[in-house]
Amino acid sequence: MSRIVVQDKLQDKLQDKLIVQEVATRDGFQIEAAFVPTPEKIRLIDALSAAGFSRIEVSSFVSPKAVPALADAAEVFSGITRRPGTTYVALVPNPKGAERALAAKADEINLVASVSETHNRANMGMTPEASIQGFAAIMQTVRGEVSVNATAATAFGCPFEGSEPEDKVLAQVERYLALGVDGVTLADTTGMANPRQVARLVARVLPLVGHERLTLHFHNTRGCGLANVLAAFEAGARRFDAALGGLGGCPFAPGATGNICTEDLVSMAEEMGLSTGLDLDALIALSRDLPRLVGHDVPGQVAKAGRPLDLHPAPPLKAA
């Protein structure tokens, strides 16, 4: 195949839209030591809606004792202004959480089970098999009232067990689909993925799920987050989780740092000619306000450095 044909095919891919699901107010805030006040969460979610997100993971209906940072999930859902065309997602761990999400009028619920047994026991207090069996009860609870996404956590490796076989990941995805879920997420929960691994696994999962139902969730623990996005995109994936400012991490895995940064991802996409439909200037402004909310600096880079054109603005037009 000639270089010109390869470049043309890549350019065709670059014309496709890259969809970003914002997860800062759930995955980001869940591990913060300082409780972000409910009105501030609502204000931030409304601002994210206004910035153009089609999907926002708002909060999680878990036990307040387990995750006190998200104890106000119902209040946040009831306080936000819902933008037409935006899907507001809640993570739920069990049927009781699903009932609370339904009462809060979440548009979608997200279920999570780790491919790794060790990580799932640390995170959920049970085996992956027990978690997936519990998903069947949740599917009965929601009875088609909302869409359901199921996440395969540690899909690209576990800090306790090491690499997870691809066939094991595919088997879990197939179990999810057999339950009747609407979407599937492959999560690099602790930032162990590399681009070649990502491309290989995405190529195997896409024929089962389809690009419109597959989400990739990357962490930047070892600096490969955006490279993994590109590898997944070129393999056919189109939807990615990201967190404003690069907030987040896994509380059950040592050394796991934040999610890929939303504004960094959107900036990279824009520079490459990819459409996200998001207001990057608004995202930068929101990210620069995050230290006030969480009480510490955040790892995102674009909010610190500015957009490339901020440094080299276009010269003024000469008068005719």
Which residue type, as a one-letter code, is found at position 218?
A: F
Question: At 34, phi and psi to the nearest 5?
Answer: -85, 130
SS3 196: helix
* 55 pLDDT tier (thresholds 50, 70, 90): very high
Distance (Å, whole) CA 100 – CA 60: 10
Residue 12 has pLDDT above 70, yes or no: no
Distance (Å, whole) CA 194 – CA 255: 17
What confidence tens digit (pLDDT) does each residue in 249-274 have?
766 566 667 899 999 999 999 999 99
pLDDT of residue 6: 46
DSSP string, 249-292: --TTSTT--PBPBHHHHHHHHHHTT-B----HHHHHHHHHHHHH
218 neighbors 191 (Cβ within 8 angstroms): yes
Q: Which helix (H) or strand (E) holds 22?
A: strand 19-22
C-alpha separations of 162 from 44, 121, 208, 302 in Å: 37, 15, 25, 32
66's tokens: 């387990």
End-to-end CA distance of the chain, in Å? Answer: 48
Distance (Å, whole) CA 18 – CA 159: 29
| pTM beyond 0.75 | yes
SS3 201: helix
**Percentages of the chain per state (helix, strand, coil), in multiples of 5:** 45, 15, 35
Residue 301 has pLDDT above 90, yes or no: yes
Strand ranges (DSSP E) for 53-211?
Answer: 55-60, 87-91, 108-114, 147-153, 183-188
Mean pLDDT of the chain: 91
DSSP string, 83-102: PTT-EEEEE-SSHHHHHHHH
Average pLDDT over residues 205-233: 96
SS (H, E, C) 44-68: HHHHHHHCCCCEEEEEECCCCCCCH
Angle made by CA atoms 99, 185, 290, in degrees to the nearest 5: 80
141 neighbors 175 (Cβ within 8 angstroms): no
261 is catalytic: no
Angle made by CA atoms 178, 201, 159, in degrees to the nearest 5: 95
Catalytic residue among 158, 224, 250, 261: 250
What confidence tens digit (pLDDT) does each residue in 86-142 have?
999 999 999 999 999 999 999 999 999 999 998 889 888 889 999 999 999 999 999
pLDDT of residue 320: 46
In order of their start, the domains of the chain are 18-311 (3.20.20.70)
